[in-house]
Amino acid sequence: MNIVNKLTIRHLKENKRRTLVTILGTIISAAMISAVATLGVSYADLLKKDHIEANGDWHVVYKDLSFEQTEGIRNDSETEILSLIQESGFAKLEDPPTKNKPYLFIQKMNEEAYEQFSVEISEGRLPQSEDELIISESAEDVHLEIGDTLTLEVGTRYSDSTWAVEQGEFLTNDNQVDMDEEGNQIETLIDTEEMTYTIVGSFERPGWERGWSPSYMALSSLDLTKPLMSETMDAYVSLNSLNRSLYDHASGLAEELDISSVSFNGGLLQLSGITASDTMDRTRLGLLVVIISIIIIGSVALIFNAFAISVSERSRHLGMLSSVGATKKQKRNSVFFEGFIVGIISIPIGILSGIAGIAVTFAVINPIIDSIGLDESLKVVVTPFSMVAAVLISAATIFISTWLPAHRASRITAMDAIRQTHDIKLKNKTVRTSNYVRKWLGLEAELGLKNLKRNKKRYHITVLSLIVSIVLFLSVSYFTQSLKQSYQLAEDTVNYDVQVYTTEEEILPELLERIGELTDVTDYQLRKETNLTMYVDEDEIAPEINKSHIMQDEDGRYIYSVNLTALDEKSLHDYAKQAGFDGNLNDTELAAIVVDDISYEDYELGKYIETKAIRTEVGRTLPLFEENWETNKRKDLPPLTVSVLTGEVPMGPKNQGPGSLEVIVSESTFESILSETEEAFVNQSVYMTSDNPTVTQMELEQLEFFNQFAIDNLHDIRESDAQMITVISVFIYGFITLITLISLANILNTISTGVALRKREFAMLRSVGMTQASFKKMMMYESAFYGIKSLFYGIPISIAIMYLIYYQTQYGFTYTFQVPWLHVLGVIVAIFGIVSLAMLYSLAKTKQETIIEGLTQENQ
């Protein structure tokens, strides 16, 4: 080790306080990099586990395969795990607990499938042959016990109803029971075969068993030693390697083996970083580059601050080296060597601190996740790649951060160090302030401003630290909010638990009354809907909408489908208030609320779009008409007046997309329009939310007029949507809290260090008679100057980065850019408050020192 490095180590040991401050700044930076890497990997792991729980752990599925085709897939070089599932069919229960679940649905699975689809045995064991069954715990009301022997007629569901014929007459497990108007089952089982099973166990209800399905799940073993030529099966494949080529490879394999149906587990592949869409890949890559760049720049600024303060304080030491013949290279290398020593100590501590911080954060978050019923919880996942990346990024940021201070150090001469010309500027022009500062704010404000001008490097370092904190917080806040908005665009969320549908209008009053008496029902809403038409000019269509998706007539006019919806009086009043309408829409004839905000997936462009359904304004009319598409006869209807434009959607399904418009009116207006039509068909449904949808469904089924309506329970889907939104929200606020704490540590570290280096200055001011009150006032003004300057630069830079993040999302999503002004306001208040508290806290630590101690003390 050369003499300059030895002197550097000695100087670090002698100046413990400055060394600790430098190490602390570097630890904070390394902790931020490590925490972000760990958080991202752990969160992706949670989403993957949750998706696997709900859909299984597979990448590609091939449908309706022969035994020979499955062997071809098994022998493919890319196949890692092959799960085979064969549907035995449906068996009718003798005494089902509910009309909507009259079946057992029996599937055969090989050993790999049981593992890949997360089948967890709760009692008994797995089936070992095709005549053994395990029953889902959801069938507890069926009263089947382990050891029971069942002789069942297993077959295929068949119905000749119009809607069933349209899908090929055969009903799947996704189709509810087909009933007539009296509530009697009109579907049958065909191609039945008598089969005998022994129940050998029960299994926990998996996420892929839907609560609204017409059957209870039962699983058997798939015996591949005796495949039947007439039976087909589905192959779910986990691949050896995941990359974009898997789509072409799977399609090519399907063509080679003459397989007609191949599809992909898009959700799991996306969470693994693989998409079939170039636009989504560009979005993902762009966001990754932006957020990593923000973190690296923030880290460089954090560490640069520490080393800039270090070089400023070491100016005498560097001048001493220069006076005894040290070259520029040796002085520069002494700073690089200091960075190396600091990195060796700080990076391991920082990375471990970041991981520990995430572990503590997860310990706080997991009870929240458990409370919303999510099966999986956040676990700290540390991968070799994420840790190597964190070490390399931390090392790179230390090197980049020391580059400028090192070159600055190389230029310090012995005379510069004695005069302190690199730090202290005493020219009159440099420290000149406006006369209005003293006149309006007093001597303390003028002194505070002169202090900042006198040592601009320290001032700029502090301001830079504040700017970095502002940019980090606002950028990460907008980034995480963009993630949430993108998820909500990509997923059609359900806002109700149970739907009751009827064509019998005369039962509606009693039905609503009885629903209102159900104790578990928290809210309900009657919707009457009919579909009408209107013409729209081209300039009324938002530019984000792909006009090729909208129908045009022979004259080139665009045709919009209008979903006219009437709400019951109470629901309409509540909804109108929510939409921002002050009056009573029930008393306003031909008044309408137009849902003009829509979101949909444009498959042609490969992106999700949020935009306006139509460009209109309050007070304009909607020229509705009814058109008979067979005779091409058109009948004009009374025009509706737009009273409110809103993005709020009433309870029920969303009727959104290009060329469609959701219009909400009162029942009286609805009847007025309907009376002018000739062939309009009306759908009538009651949508409700419930604390216990299963109990609510059973209570509805016990009504004496149950045969006059149908029930659809979508609670599982709604609960899944709500859980994911909650998890994303928890992640967002956890991430923002993490960045906030790091920013606070950065601000407190920088300001307290800056104040600690000014002990001699404070002692000198006390020596000429400045009181403690004046000190406090001066420091408060300095805080204000720091805050104003940092906000002046920080907010515009943050908005620019927000727009860059927004721009990257537009490859896969289209929505309007909005600055989160509430967060900006919070940052403004927080900056002034935090800077002031940091100044006062640091100043309080010097309060007890005497003037002599302050004038003679060296920073140790």
pLDDT tens-digit series, residues 577-615: 888 887 777 777 788 888 888 777 776 666 677 788 888
Fill in the amino acid letter for 335.
V
End position of a domain, from candidates 211, 236, 264: 264
Answer whether residue 276 is part of any domain.
Answer: no
End position of a domain, from candidates 655, 683, 713: 713
**Average pLDDT value for residue range 43-69:** 84
**H/E run at residue 661:** strand 660-666
Distance of CA 258 to the CA centre of its chain: 40
Q: What letter would DSSP give residue 379?
A: -
Fill in the amino acid letter for 351.
I
pLDDT beyond 90 at 237: yes
| Same domain, yes or no: 774 and 852 | yes
Residue 167 to residues 158, 170, 172, 188, 191, Cα–Cα distance (Å): 11, 7, 10, 16, 18
- Residue 192, judged by CB atoms within 10 A of its CB (0-12, 13-18, 19+), counts as middle
| Same domain, yes or no: 839 and 797 | yes
Between 822 and 492, where is the model more confident?
822
Total of domains in the chain? 4
Which range, 68-72, 282-286, 470-474, 648-652, is most confident? 68-72
**Average pLDDT value for residue range 1-10:** 75
Judged by average pLDDT, the poorest of 199-208, 250-259, 399-408, 630-639 is 399-408
Q: What is the pLDDT of residue 229?
A: 47
**Average pLDDT value for residue range 198-204:** 91
> Could you give the CA distance from residue 473 to residue 747 in angstroms, rounded to a whole number?
12
In this structure, the strands spanning 261-264 and 607-612 are unpaired
Q: What percent of the chain has pLDDT over 70?
A: 71
Are 339 and 399 contacting, i.e. CB atoms less than 8 angstroms apart? yes
| Same domain, yes or no: 82 and 72 | yes
Which range, 196-205, 316-325, 594-603, is most confident? 196-205
* Cβ neighbour number for residue 76 with a 10 Å cutoff: 18
Tokens at 24, concatenated: 């602390």
Q: Give the pLDDT band of residue 430 (cuts 50, 70, 90).
A: low
Which range, 302-311, 342-351, 539-548, is most confident? 342-351
Between 264 and 812, where is the model more confident?
264
Answer whether residue 298 is part of any domain.
Answer: yes
| Same domain, yes or no: 384 and 318 | yes
End position of a domain, from candidates 423, 439, 458: 423
| Same domain, yes or no: 726 and 699 | no
Helices (H) then strands (E): counts for the chain: 25, 25
| Same domain, yes or no: 456 and 563 | no
pLDDT beyond 80 at 280: no
Residue 458 to residues 672, 745, 789, Cα–Cα distance (Å): 74, 18, 14
> Could you give the CA distance from residue 418 to residue 689 in angstroms, rounded to a whole number?
77
128: three-class secondary structure by DSSP: coil
pLDDT beyond 90 at 841: no
pLDDT beyond 90 at 455: no
Q: Which residues contact 435 (CB under 8 A, 6 or more apart)?
A: none
| Same domain, yes or no: 688 and 810 | no
| Same domain, yes or no: 483 and 582 | no
| Residue-number span of the structural domain to which 224 is assigned | 57-264
Tokens at 654, concatenated: 């969303």
Are 618 and 644 contacting, i.e. CB atoms less than 8 angstroms apart? yes
Mean pLDDT computed over every residue of the chain: 77
Answer whether residue 275 is part of any domain.
Answer: no
Q: Give the pLDDT band of residue 253 (cuts 50, 70, 90).
A: very high
**Average pLDDT value for residue range 182-197:** 83
Task: Sort residue 769 into left (φ over 0), alpha (ψ -120 to 50) or beta.
Answer: left
**Average pLDDT value for residue range 498-509:** 82
712: three-class secondary structure by DSSP: strand
Between 318 and 265, where is the model more confident?
265
Q: Give the pLDDT band of residue 380 (cuts 50, 70, 90).
A: confident
> Could you give the CA distance from residue 452 to residue 782 in angstroms, rounded to a whole number?
8
| Same domain, yes or no: 572 and 702 | yes
Q: How confident is the model over 347-364, as pLDDT tens digits?
A: 899 888 888 888 887 887
Q: Give the pLDDT band of residue 223 (cuts 50, 70, 90).
A: confident
Answer whether residue 270 is part of any domain.
Answer: no
Are 573 and 588 contacting, i.e. CB atoms less than 8 angstroms apart? no
Q: What is the pLDDT of residue 860?
A: 43
Q: Give the pLDDT band of residue 67 (cuts 50, 70, 90).
A: confident
Between 483 and 412, where is the model more confident?
483
| Same domain, yes or no: 742 and 842 | yes
Answer whether residue 269 is part of any domain.
Answer: no
In this structure, the strands spanning 683-690 and 607-612 are unpaired
Judged by average pLDDT, the poorest of 314-323, 611-620, 823-832 is 314-323
pLDDT beyond 80 at 86: yes
Q: What is the pLDDT of residue 198?
A: 93
DSSP-assigned beta bridge partners for residue 261? 63
| Same domain, yes or no: 591 and 650 | yes
> Could you give the CA distance from residue 299 to residue 291 in angstroms, rounded to a whole number?
12
Q: Which residue has the tokens 């572990």?
A: 359
Nearest residue to 566 via CA among 534, 598, 532, 536: 532
Q: What is the pLDDT of residue 82?
A: 92
**Average pLDDT value for residue range 11-33:** 76
Q: How confident is the model over 149-185, as pLDDT tens digits?
A: 989 889 888 887 766 665 666 788 877 777 776 667 7
**Average pLDDT value for residue range 774-793:** 77
Q: How confident is the model over 115-138, as pLDDT tens digits?
A: 988 888 988 999 988 889 999 988
Between 767 and 557, where is the model more confident?
557
| Same domain, yes or no: 849 and 825 | yes
Q: Give the pLDDT band of residue 44 (cuts 50, 70, 90).
A: confident
Tokens at 217, concatenated: 């799940």
Answer whether residue 271 is part of any domain.
Answer: no
- For the chain, give the longest Cα–Cα distance: 105
Answer whether residue 541 is part of any domain.
Answer: yes
